[in-house]
Structure 1
Amino acid sequence: MRLTVGVLTYRSAANLPPLLAALPAGLAGVDDWRLVVVDSGSFDDTLIVAKDLAPDATLVQLDSNRGFAAAANAVAAVHPDADAVLLLSPTTRLRPGCAAELLAALAEPGVGIAVPRLIGRDGAYKTSLRRRPTLGRAVAEAVLGGNRASRLGRGELIADPAGYDARTPADWATGAVTMFSRACLTATGPWDETFFLYSEETEYALRAADHGFRLAFVPTAEAVHNGGDARNVPALWGIMVANRVRLHGMRHGRAAATAFWAAITLGEAIRAPGDVNHRYATRKLLRERQGLIMGRPAEVPEQLR
C-alpha cells in the first residue's frame, strides 16, 4: 500500500528533529511511503529545520494557522494516489514498526481509521480512546467529574489505558497519530476546516462511522505523544469545551444541543471557582451559547492564530 506520511507543524522547530529521527524505524516494513510537511504559517525556524533534516519531503506552506483540519486536508491532497494517509502532530514520535501495524489494521473489512497506543513523556500509557458524546455522558461528567465518570464507565473518556486492547470499543480517539484510508476519505469527505482545534477528530470519526467505516485501536502500534497544551492555556481549554457543544449542535439539532450545553456549562461552572480554565470556559459558553447550539464555529482568539 502507498502511504503518505504527513507532519503538521506550527512553530515546531524544536519538535521536528526527534520526530523525523524516529521515522525510519517507525515506518519499518512500509515499502512505499512519501513524507509531506504542512506548515501553518510558522514564524520560527520550522521550515529551515524541515528542509535540512528531510530534504526529500514535500513542503507545503499555508498562509496562516487555519487549524489541524486544514493541515490534514493539505496533506491528503498532495498525493491523491496514496492508499492511506498517516497524520502526525509535531509532538509525536513513532515507535518501531508502528506504521506497518496501522496499515495492517486498515486492511481489515470495515476499518477506515486506525490509531496506535499513545505513551506520554513519562513513559505511561495515555488515555486516548473515547465513546460517542451523549447527553447522559455529559451529565455524568458534570456531576461526578470527568475522571470519576470515566472510571465508572459513565463518561466519554475510556479509562485504564493499560487495559486497552484490540477489542476495546471506541467511537473516536485522540488525533495526534491517526491513519485513515483513501477509501474512507473518498466516502466521508475532507476534514471539517471550520473546527480550528479540538473536536475535528471527533467529527471526522463520527462522520466516517455514518458512512460505514469504523475506528480500530491497534495496541501493537505505539507512539510517544508529548502534547496536551489545553490544560496549560485557558483559551485552548475554552475552544475544546465549546467545540463539544458545537459538534452536538451540528449532529443533533438545536433542542438536543441546548440540553448538552446546559450539562457542559454546569460542569464548568461547578469547577470555575478554583480553576482559571473552567472560569474561562464558563464565560465562553455563556457568551457564545446561541451560536454553538446552532452548530456555528466557536470564536478563536487572535492570539492562537
Structure 2
Amino acid sequence: MPVDVAVVVVTYNSERHVADLLDSIPRSMGELTYSVVVVDNGSTDGTLALLDAREDCTVVRSTNVGYAAGMNRAVAASPPADSILILNPDAIVDSGAVPIMRRVLAKPRVGIVAPRVREEDGSLSPTLRRGPTIGRVGGLSFTGWPVFTERIEDSSEYEREHEVEWAVGAILLVDRECYDRLGGMDESFFLYSEETDFSLRAKDAGWLTVYTPDAGAMHVGGGSGESAMTHTMKQINRIRLYRRRTGTVRASVYYVLTVLSEVRRALLGHDKSWPTIRALIDPSRRPSLLNASDSILPR
C-alpha cells in the first residue's frame, strides 16, 4: 500500500542508538503516512535482537554490503512513496520535522532536503558542504575562506533556507523520482562520499539540494564507531569521487595534496593519519571493501 514517506535506515552495531531513532519517527511525521525499513549490515552486537522485538519497522538482514548498498536495499523493500527519508541510526528527528521538509521538497526542481542538525549537546552541527575542489582538499576550515574549505562554518548560513551543493547524509529527505532517475546511491563507494556523489549527480541532472532551518534533528555521530580504517576509507573515497568527476590529471594533483594534508595532520598528532598515509601510498594496504587496490590513484 502506498505511503507518503518511506523511511530507510541502515544499521551496523547500532544497539546504543537505533531505539531512540525509531521512537522519534512517529512524532516527526505529523499526519503523514509512512513505512520504516531497517537493513542490518551484519551487526554482531544486540542490534538485531532489539529490532526483532519491535513492531514498528520491517527488518532486512544483510551481510555488510556497505552503506549505499544497504540504503538501496531498504528503498527496494519499501512500499511505494513519493519521498524517501534517509536516516542514520544515531539520529533523532524532531517533532513535526518531516511535513516541513516535504513542503520544501514540493518546490520546483528540489530533489533533496536537509534539515538543521544539532549535536548531542544541543550545539549546531555544521552539516552543509561546498563541492570538492583542489583548493578545498586540505579541509582548512579554520581559515574561514570558502576557497579552502568544504564545510560551511558560518552560522548565518544555517539561519535561512537556501540551495547547497551537498549536505551530510545523516538526515535527508529525497524525492523518489530523483532517487530512481539517479539509480539510487552508488554502491561502489561502500562507505563515505555516497551522499556527496548523490547530491552532485542530482545537481548534474537538474535537481537541487536545499537546506531548511525550519525542520530540526539531532545526530550523535560516530554511532557505529570510528577508526583508522574508516578515516582511510573516507580519504580514498574523496579522491575516487574527485577523479570520477574531473579526470585523472586533476585527480592526481588532488591525490598528492591529500597525502600532504594527511602528513600535516599526522605531525600535528592525529594518529589515524599515519595508517591513511601508508594506505594512500601503498594500495595493498587499503581496506579490501573499497576495491581500490588496483592502482595508486583510486578509481
Q: Shared topology, TM-score over 0.5?
A: yes
Residue identity matched to 2:282:
R
Equivalent residue runs for 1:84-95 within 5 Å = 84-95=83-94
Residues 1:21 and 2:23 aligned together: yes
Compare the two structures and name the one with the higher helix fraction: 1
Residue identity matched to 1:257:
A
3-state SS of paired residue (1:158): coil
CA contact (8 A) 1:128 1:161 kept: no
Equivalent residue runs for 1:64-213 within 5 Å = 64-79=63-78, 81-138=80-137, 141=138, 146-149=140-143, 151-154=144-147, 155-161=149-155, 163-213=157-207
Distance 2:253 2:13 in 1: 38
Distance 2:195 2:175 in 1: 15
CA contact (8 A) 1:28 1:100 kept: yes
For residues 85-136 of structure 1, the C-alpha deviation after alignment (integer angstroms, 9 at most, x for no partner) is: 1111111000111111111111010111111111111110111011110112
Report the number of matched residues: 285
Distance 1:61 1:297 in 2: 23
Distance 1:271 1:134 in 2: 19
3-state SS of paired residue (2:258): helix
Residue identity matched to 2:29:
L
Structure 2, unaligned runs of 5 or more: 294-299
Other-structure match for 1:286: 281
TM-score with structure 1 length normalisation?
Answer: 0.87
3-state SS of paired residue (2:132): coil
Structure 1, unaligned runs of 5 or more: 300-305
Per the TM alignment, residue 22 of structure 1 is displaced from its structure 2 partner at its CA by 1.3
Distance 1:56 1:231 in 2: 26
Distance 1:268 1:104 in 2: 42
3-state SS of paired residue (1:284): helix
Runs of 4+ in 1 over 6 A off after TM superposition: none
3-state SS of paired residue (2:53): helix
TM-score with structure 2 length normalisation?
Answer: 0.89
Per the TM alignment, residue 277 of structure 1 is displaced from its structure 2 partner at its CA by 1.6
Over 3 Å counting, the alpha-carbon distance change for 1:72 and 1:232 in structure 2 is closer
Residue identity matched to 1:285:
L
Per the TM alignment, residue 232 of structure 1 is displaced from its structure 2 partner at its CA by 4.4
Equivalent residue runs for 1:189-268 within 5 Å = 189-228=183-222, 232-268=226-262
Residue identity matched to 1:280:
P
Per the TM alignment, residue 68 of structure 1 is displaced from its structure 2 partner at its CA by 1.0
Distance 1:80 1:254 in 2: 41
